Structure 1
């Protein structure tokens, strides 16, 4: 098991459970644990998820076998020790996952790779009618995605027979997690999904950008770890309301980015469409952005939400990324890595390709658009409730000044202890426009 840590609607477990004996295995991959992609928030969420999955399997007479090391080596040991003839695994799109799959094929057993476990539609199953190996623009992809017949939702297995074998959950340490990090695990994920499908999703079209309302599903970490199935989520949400249709479009966006990365693995670190940017190098500007001290309250509130919760509202992700890449004109890779360092839901495809979309080096058809943080704040947080939630120094500032506190009388502004803006927005916009015109 990799990113499919659930018993409900799990094609991998469903197929494997048909055998006389089944060994649900999760390998804590040393290559991932030692990489920059593994952080304290994901370690905590992963521990919750593995613990919850083990409990669900024990209810079915089985257990989760957890090993640590190289996945292929650990699978090979179990194949040898138990005379295993079949191995089932979920397909994934990263280079690391592809290399793992290739190595598993060398074990001399029947390897079954299940495409529809992590995505609703397998990444490279849709191609443009005019040619090409993937869609580079979302709208035509979505039109075709909507027409695909998805598999049915699979029931959780009943009784499972698992032989005695060693492999208990090791302690996973990667630092101190964010103080308000959400809990992981399929049980929690299914509770969120049920509540969201019953009530929350129907207002999604109207409220999903309202920062203070926080009217989003919060299911992205569960989709990343596979504690909730995207196929079942789509089935539960349906398309009966405008909100459900808008939410379905967002889930299709997730599949869209997976197919882009599957077709262009190098875009995890290289520009999908280069603009030949000569990004600025400013450690002080990057530190101000990272620490939520830019002097622009909406940007700072979002960055402090990320630090506190290991999560950030989607609209806020858009604005903070635009501020780094286009207002400060700093390399998108630096911002993407900071999100990797903290986000619990950080999916390689969606994190990197969304950052590239905002930076204008990805699939955005308007690569030079800039999201002005003041205009965004006034539109999506008009009374400053979101800002005040995460910036206590502005908690008592009236709505007329909360997004531009520097417009207060000088002494009053200084008393807040809040920084002045690190950059003038007009000057920054001119700088960015001039940089892109030169290319």
Structure 2
């Protein structure tokens, strides 16, 4: 009897799961394993919103495996030690897992390979976290792309692997005890956002199907920047691998209006992934340092965190983040630009505040995007500075997004919420006076920032 362990990480699904499919095809018995790694649980990455989604995703994964006669084996401790022990108990001689690309993921694989050589099991990696592996898309004469457009062209030209159906049957060895799955609040302290989305492959597939069945993707080229528009909300599902990015890529019809704009967002995720793969210190080391001497202003930073900057579109975004564990992508740019360029506060502080709340908090996407906005990353215009007033007027013209998240301004008509501060006395008559004055004047902030950067 042959036994293979499938180590789940950021691939919490049974549909189009190459490692699981290979194990089910080769082995008499399969051990689907997830380790609640105590090192990760002790880190700042283990925020309540993400741990809550994770537990929901694992609960759903267990149910889907049980439907196929198997189960999810859950352990808590050091991943390497737990894998060794499960292999010992079950007699497994192979471990399969999805290839991932962070420094932590690479250390994990190296550690598994070393333990496997010592304890008699092999380790095999499979695709599944990305549509195209980072090492498959490289510029001529270079190790990775630093500009999106040429990456996009090369990425689009790559052959896609065939999609895989879920295994019909998963047979678990009798010797292994599945183990209990703890509640999220037993793993991490704190509170989740009140309107956070439900995690797991079942809920994720419902969102995916609804998005395509309603043909929302057809208008995506226009709506993706409209702050109040409905978007796919699939980012957390992709981060945790409850949806296969390859399946979404295959489902898109590039000949139809809007579809290419949608798939370009998938490509942006993978552009950022290859940045992280080539620059494992991306979350803390600037790709292109500008000699910034970031300001220390704890009061301003706290006001930004709380959504009390006096700029309605910025405040709406920061409040949406806490309320939903998610923020519209355009507003992520605006809020990050405000912190790094209006307030001239270190991008790393803002990036980690996002990680404290985002369900989709992803090392590659979050930190690469923050560096892009701060001008320390891949943006060809490093001193680009978004004007929150004009951006609000352009992308939230009727003020619906702001009024939904800033109740103090809910009684203002139409796009009046975006009018400059000078119009306050007229527009804010009868409105809650608790809404704050702007932390900084846009023109003055721009001059300060450009002077600091040496223009």
The answer, yes or no, to whether TM exceeds 0.5 is: yes
TM tier relative to shorter chain: over 0.9
Counterpart for residue 370 of structure 1: 385
CA positional deviation for 1:172: 2.7
SS of residue paired to 1:37: coil
SS of residue paired to 1:27: strand
What is the aligned counterpart of 1:16 among 23, 34, 47? 23
Aligned length: 435
Counterpart for residue 75 of structure 1: 83
1:350 aligns with 2:350: no
The whole-number CA distance in structure 2 between the counterparts of 1:400 and 1:208 is 19
Provide Cα deviations, 1:400-421, integer angstroms capped at 9, x if missing partner. 5312474232783784310000
Structure 2 regions of 5+ residues with no counterpart? 1-7
CA positional deviation for 1:399: 2.9
Counterpart for residue 421 of structure 1: 438
Counterpart for residue 163 of structure 1: 173
What is the aligned counterpart of 2:287 among 268, 272, 286? 272
What is the aligned counterpart of 2:224 among 202, 208, 230? 208
More displaced stretch, 337-346 vs 100-109: 100-109
The whole-number CA distance in structure 1 between the counterparts of 2:57 and 2:199 is 5
Query: What is the root-mean-square deviation in Å for CA atoms of aligned residues?
Result: 1.3
CA positional deviation for 1:125: 1.8
Task: Check conservation: 2:412, 2:431, Cα contact below 8 A.
Answer: no
SS of residue paired to 1:267: coil
1:25 aligns with 2:33: yes
SS of residue paired to 1:265: coil
Q: Which residues of 2 match residues 273-288 of structure 1 at below 5 A?
A: 273-288=288-303
Task: Check conservation: 1:296, 1:404, Cα contact below 8 A.
Answer: no
CA positional deviation for 1:61: 0.1
More displaced stretch, 396-405 vs 163-172: 396-405
TM-score (norm 1): 0.97
Task: Check conservation: 2:131, 2:160, Cα contact below 8 A.
Answer: yes
TM-score (norm 2): 0.93
SS of residue paired to 1:149: coil
The whole-number CA distance in structure 2 between the counterparts of 1:138 and 1:348 is 18
SS of residue paired to 2:84: helix
1:140 aligns with 2:147: no
The whole-number CA distance in structure 2 between the counterparts of 1:183 and 1:172 is 13
Q: Which residues of 2 match residues 82-101 of structure 1 at below 5 A?
A: 82-101=90-109
SS of residue paired to 1:266: coil
The whole-number CA distance in structure 1 between the counterparts of 2:395 and 2:316 is 13
Structure 1 regions of 5+ residues with no counterpart? none
Change (3 A) 1:133 1:405: closer
SS of residue paired to 1:189: helix
1:188 aligns with 2:203: yes
1:433 aligns with 2:440: no
Provide Cα deviations, 1:118-171, integer angstroms capped at 9, x if missing partner. 000101221111x11100111111110000001011001001111132222123
Change (3 A) 1:137 1:70: same
Task: Check conservation: 1:394, 1:416, Cα contact below 8 A.
Answer: no
Q: Which residues of 2 match residues 110-125 of structure 1 at below 5 A?
A: 110-114=122-126, 116-125=127-136
Counterpart for residue 321 of structure 1: 336
CA positional deviation for 1:237: 2.1
1:231 aligns with 2:241: no
Task: Check conservation: 2:34, 2:72, Cα contact below 8 A.
Answer: yes
CA positional deviation for 1:17: 1.0
More displaced stretch, 195-204 vs 308-317: 195-204
SS of residue paired to 2:320: helix
Provide Cα deviations, 1:321-371, integer angstroms capped at 9, x if missing partner. 111111111100000000000000011011000100110100111111111
1:149 aligns with 2:149: no
Counterpart for residue 43 of structure 1: 51
Task: Check conservation: 1:28, 1:67, Cα contact below 8 A.
Answer: yes
SS of residue paired to 2:70: coil
The whole-number CA distance in structure 2 between the counterparts of 1:257 and 1:388 is 33
What is the aligned counterpart of 2:416 among 373, 380, 401? 401
What is the aligned counterpart of 1:387 among 388, 402, 405? 402
Task: Check conservation: 1:332, 1:355, Cα contact below 8 A.
Answer: yes
